[in-house]
Structure 1
Amino acid sequence: MTDVVRPAATASPADLLDLESEFSVSELEVRDRVREFADRRIRPRIARWFADAVFPREIVPELAELGVLGMHLDGYGCAGASAVEYGLACQEIEAADSGIRTFVSVQGSLAMSAIHKHGSEAQKEQWLPRLARGEAIGCFGLTEPGAGSDPAGMTTRARRDGGEWVLDGAKRWIGLASIADVAVIWAKVSDDDAAASQGARSRAGASSSGVSTTGCERVRGFLVPTSSAGFTATPIEPKLSMRASIQCDVTLDGVRLPDDAILPENPGLAGPFACLDEARYGIVWGAMGAARDAFEAALGYAGEREQFGRPIAANQLVQEKLANMALDISKGQLIALRLGRLKDAGKLRAHMISAGKLDNARTALDVCRTARTILGGNGITLDHSPLRHALNLETVRTYEGTDEVHTLVLGRHLTGLQAFR
């Protein structure tokens, strides 16, 4: 069960519009370096990891050495890469497998971004260098059993008890939680408790976030060492998708944390949403990597598989499928590149990310399903990548916002009217 390893990096046959020429030398160097790693370390083993439902933890230090853990962040040992460079890295890793790209996203776009965007200087110094080096693993706990698309409906709460925080609640579908060293947990906190914590930290010389005392609740983030008493992470098994990745149920039963465990910046749902947008941006690129790999597998197979005395690639219906897949990939990569350039220019807006995540995830899934049909019965084995990619993309299409959620984000942008409730 091994996928075909491609030769040295070149433009994909799916590149119908010469997008290769749109990238700078440094961007292509990042792409080729990550592609070489994926071809060498992931592709020859991914079928077995997927079949056995194993996340290959041994490659974490190698991914760190490759520079892809938090690579879009500045300082604290992070690579400080451009948005386009990060996108290309996501594309090449997901061309090998969505589950491995999901690790990179959870570690960098979610856990590390939360600390980088919303943490104190002490929290950044404590965790970001270790996470960038792969010496520690992070996870991001937002989704709950009863609060997926509606995170405002979360029931996890943090309350003050003396000089400590106490967390109670449950999270679901939390990537890496069972192997993580630190969890970013989002919980509802009363403004009174938040203000009391802020006052204590201000008296101790910490910065103030300006929280008012209104008696209301708002969502706040906490850094929770996973060794804390009362923190339990249980992998969700068996799964039909993302089998070379880890997703968990998490319970928080009276988890006690020091006062400075709270992330001091950006109270409210804007905090986790900013991190989710980072992850969604990576998906826009990554999904096209999976689609491209499935297309190339189907194209190669069609040229070699003979029926009725000739390669099936000579059949009109097969050529129609190949042409449509290549067009879809080219359009999806144009979307990804446009968003990357906007992000690097500081002009990327949330509805644009929703447009890219919505369209590229569903397009990639359609491409992979079509590619499987060209492989016929052989396509259901792990000797070939398209169905594995399609199974993974069922998750990619769902997480970080379902089709319905992103459609309504775009509807709100177009009409100015909220349709979520």
Structure 2
Amino acid sequence: MSYLCFLLLFFFQPKLAVLEQMGITQFERLKTEFSYKQWHLKKRNQISTDQLRQISWPWVWRSRFQLGNSELKMTVVTRFATMQRQKEEYEKKIVATDPRELLLKKQSLFGMTDTQIVFDYHLQRRARFLTDWFIGLGFSLPTGKNQLRPIDVELANQFYSEVLDFQISRLGEGFNRGISLFTTHRFSTLCVAVGGNYLVKGKYSVLPNQVYKPGNESHLQAVTLWKGQIFSWRNDLGFRHYSHDSFGEQTWFRQGGEFLADTSVTLNFLRGQLFIGQHLINRLRNSQIDGGRFGLQIRNTNSNFRQSRLGGRYHISPLMQIELRYERLFMLPNENKIGRASVRHTSFSVAAQFRDYLWANAGCSIGQGEMQALKFNPNVTIIPPATNSAPEGQIRLNGLSFWLGIRQNFDLREIN
């Protein structure tokens, strides 16, 4: 499970309270999950290999307060993460014997991330067309590391990869603020949610004396969920827009908008479920400074994203279930004919309930695939999609991850 999705869930997806109202998830007071992920990257020419490792440990605490017909929920998320890279290179010396020397290069980065705090206000209405309103307000406290040493910049860029999908890609991003508004309505077996979010990104210093301001983000989204006795069908459609990025007082880049779509079908049987789904992201062209003015890039450097998933869950007992999942991820080549990637994931997990208020889960995943190598530009301190340049060949990927988590929803006053 990716806990990078927590931040995305708070600011870009329907609020947790909305998902609970639709019956997609349930309220949890405390949730934590320790996870480890590593990727082994090997170029086809076998000149060099990279090992990327990450340990992430998020903590999520939630509380809710009943206010008449309304409800207020508060969510606090903080995470600890490590990033480690071990690079192996074979370098030939010009001598008679022509030996090969193995050079080991290790880099590491660790610390706490920013702390996200989100308030959700649920206003229950009995109107004919709009059943419930959800108003959300969230912000992130800059408790994470937001300034890197020059030697750490390349390491951090390795973990900011949509293909490798590390749980945490950045430790700190400054003071972010977000607001959201959603409404839901239930028609017998059909539930509909419509709304949007707006996220104001904060400034932070990537390197000394270099203040970076990411563009603000807005997101419109509509979700439908049809739940029957035999199967359920969920559809998610949205559009995300970005404002310009800037370094200091210089505006220099704006990421293209994104169309997002996700659909999934779940088939229920006596002691489990089978599910299949598809996730799509189509990206528009970026804009960049050209002669002091914004203009569309001559050729698009954004790659479209495709992900297919298939799996099943089986209830061994009323208190335990297992899940087997297969996923296939594709990054399509952009107009520059670079950025192609293909990754396959196979995962197994088990979840058990120990008491009415306490659950535990564990699992492991194996990944394989290949991606196109990109040259690193040392003059760029942050590498957005627009700065990736020429290909250097293909990289073979082999990955492994495992996780162990617990969650509970009891009230301490009731236990005591």
- How would you bin the TM-score normalised by the shorter chain? under 0.3
Larger RCO of the pair (alpha carbons < 8 Å, separation 6+): 1
